[in-house]
Amino acid sequence: MPIRVLLVGAGAIGAFYGSRLATAPNTLVSALCRSNFRAVKDNGFHVSSPKYGNSTFRPEYAFSNPGEARKAQIKWDYLLVATKALPDLSDDSELLEGLVGPETSIVLVQNGLGVEEPYRKRFPKATVLSAVTIASAAQPSHGKIQHNRWTRISIGPYLPHLDKEGTEESSEDEQANAKNSRFVELLREGGIEDAELYSHAGLQFVRWHKIAINAAMNPSSVLSGGSENQAMALDPELSRHLLAVMEEVLDTAPRVLGKPLPDKLASPQKILESTKKNTSGSKPSMQLDWAEGKRMELEVILGNPIRIAREKGIEMPRLQSMYALLKMAQENRQKQSKL
Ligand SMILES: NC(=O)c1ccc[n+]([C@@H]2O[C@H](COP(=O)([O-])OP(=O)(O)OC[C@H]3O[C@@H](n4cnc5c(N)ncnc54)[C@H](OP(=O)(O)O)[C@@H]3O)[C@@H](O)[C@H]2O)c1
Ligand SMILES: *[C@@H]1O[C@H](CO)[C@@H](O)[C@H](O)[C@H]1NC(C)=O
Ligand SMILES: *[C@@H]1O[C@H](CO)[C@@H](O)[C@H](O)[C@H]1NC(C)=O
């Protein structure tokens, strides 16, 4: 039996990893599309990459909506979710209704914190794998996927009941670990050499570390009028702010997770230094979304960390200020666009 993967959210990141998985032996990848359906159905995805070259990835099935995917009645091994995480706009776990069988794992490749909860709540028996990637990719036009650089993806099973001290792993937890290992193997077989295997606790640290960077760079770029990363890091006043935001997040993470921060994660100072040297001229994704009039991933990058910390009695004042300001800015713009 081949391994069957369905991309739910076949945009930049989903289609990039999908195109790699499709090259793994005995693996068939399908796509649940939306606005790019026609282009993908007719021509597949054109993927350009400095590492893998240019290729066409034709999904086994391309579906135009969730109903079509349900009708196909396929036993999916992995549902790879790579929509933008916008819980204030839509609960995308709904897209998976009728697609999750007893053997299906849900793999979330999304930025932010707390993205797993809607899936765990809706599908309490399913295995949820949580993934963070530093790859940079874009979809400049429908079905054209541009992989820019980096491939690293870190994946761990989402097993929050293990956060309680003294909890032993059950046989279901072991199954989740096995499915996680298998998925990492598939990615490696697809040429993603730096697909990394994590435990539940280890992966949550990776999430906090990634949002330390995202929570510093993304909102600051929007609030400063669309700055590039390097310009912010080189500005004497703004660089202090970036450093303090990253420190706020990384001071909070061990207090929330109840364990010390792993040593191997880059320090805020190091991240800032490398951003200063980075001449790529890149701007954070949140700024690109704002500039295009799209919703920003504010809730999972700022709102959820603040709320998760607050539940433990910890305030994150720098994140809170940026969150409050940007949330209102987004609401004001939306009101204006409806006038
Ligand atoms: N791009 C990067 O370099 C990068 C790097 C690291 C992490 N990430 C994270 O990866 C996640 C995905 O980002 P992305 O850049 O790949 O976003 P993207 O290019 O906008 O892709 C999202 C895809 O999901 C589709 N989608 C949304 N709702 C859908 C629905 N209801 N039914 C079917 N399809 C739906 C979108 O379709 P439409 O086009 O119709 O909206 C789009 O094709 C985000 O959490 C992001 O923060 C991205
Ligand atoms: C690959 O595709 C990109 C984007 O479509 C293009 O700019 C580049 O020239 C192509 N490279 C090769 C080797 O065909
Ligand atoms: C340079 O910036 C890009 C885009 O933000 C990022 O992916 C990359 O990691 C940065 N490079 C270094 C050396 O920090």
Domain chopping of the chain, boundaries: 3-198, 203-337
Nearest CA owner, ligand 3 atom 4:
282
d(CA 294, ligand 3 centre) in Å: 23
CB 7 within 8 A of CB 80: yes
What are the pLDDT tens digits along the chain (339 aa)? 999 999 999 999 999 999 999 999 999 999 999 999 999 999 999 999 999 999 999 999 999 999 999 999 999 999 999 999 999 999 999 999 999 999 999 999 999 999 999 999 999 999 999 999 999 999 999 999 999 999 999 999 999 999 888 889 999 999 999 999 999 999 999 999 999 999 999 999 999 999 999 999 999 999 999 999 999 999 999 999 999 999 999 999 999 999 999 988 899 999 999 999 988 888 999 999 999 999 999 999 999 999 999 999 999 999 999 999 999 999 999 999 876
pTM of the model: 0.96
For ligand 2, atom 2, name the residue with the nearest CA: 48
Residue type, 271: I
Q: Is residue 35 lining ligand 1, measured as CB closer than 6 Å?
A: yes
CA of 11 to the centre of ligand 1 (A): 5
- Token pair in block for residue 190: 């697809």
- Report the residue among 54, 139, 144 best suited for mutation to probe ligand 2: largest number of ligand atoms under 8 A from its CB: 54
Instruction: State the pLDDT at residue 32.
Output: 98
Which are the contacts of 300, defined by CB distance < 8 A and separation ≥ 6?
85, 87, 110, 111, 112, 113, 114, 115
How many angstroms separate the alpha carbon of residue 68 from the centre of ligand 2?
Answer: 33
- Three-class SS state of 304: helix
Region 3-198: CATH code: 3.40.50.720
Burial of residue 304 (CB within 10 Å: 0-12, 13-18, 19+) is: buried
* Residue 21: HSE in the Cβ half-sphere, 13 Å Cα cutoff: 30
With a 6 A CB cut-off, is 270 part of the ligand 3 pocket? Answer: no
Q: Is the CB of 282 under 6 A from ligand 3?
A: yes
In b/e form, how buried is each residue of 305-328, taking b as 16+ CB within 10 angstroms? bbebbeeeeeebebbbebbeebbe
How is the beta sheet containing 62-63 ordered, strand by strand? 62-63, 27-32, 3-8, 78-81, 105-109, 127-133, 153-157, 195-197
Environment class of 292 (CB within 10 Å of its CB; exposed 0-12, middle 13-18, buried 19+): exposed
- Pick the ligand that lies closest to the CA of residue 32: 1
**CA-nearest residue, atom 6 of ligand 2:** 48
Ligand positioned closest to the Cα atom of 112: 1
- C-alpha distance across the termini of the chain, in Å: 55
Closest-CA residue to 70 (of 39, 101, 29)? 101
C-beta of residue 65 within 8 angstroms of C-beta of residue 75: no
pLDDT value for 264: 87
Ligand 2 in contact with 73 (CB < 6 A)? Answer: no
54 lines ligand 2 (CB under 6 A): yes
Is residue 279 within 6 Å of ligand 2 at its C-beta? no
Write down the CATH number for the domain with range 203-337: 1.10.1040.10
The dihedrals phi and psi of 95, each to the nearest 5 degrees, come to: -60, -25
Cα 243 from Cα 227, distance rounded (Å): 16
Q: What is the pLDDT of residue 35?
A: 98
Predicted pLDDT of residue 333 = 95
Instruction: Give the residue ranges of DSSP H helices in the chain.
Output: 12-21, 37-43, 66-71, 117-122, 171-189, 200-223, 229-234, 236-257, 268-277, 285-291, 298, 304-311, 317-338
Tell me the CA–centroid distance for residue 278 and ligand 3, in Å: 6
Ligand sitting nearest the alpha carbon of 276: 3
Q: Is the CB of 308 under 6 A from ligand 1?
A: no
**Is 136 touching ligand 1 by the criterion CB < 6 Å?**
yes
CB count in 10 Å sphere of residue 277 = 9
Ligand closest to the CA atom of residue 141: 1
The closest alpha carbon to 200, from 94, 124, 127, belongs to 127
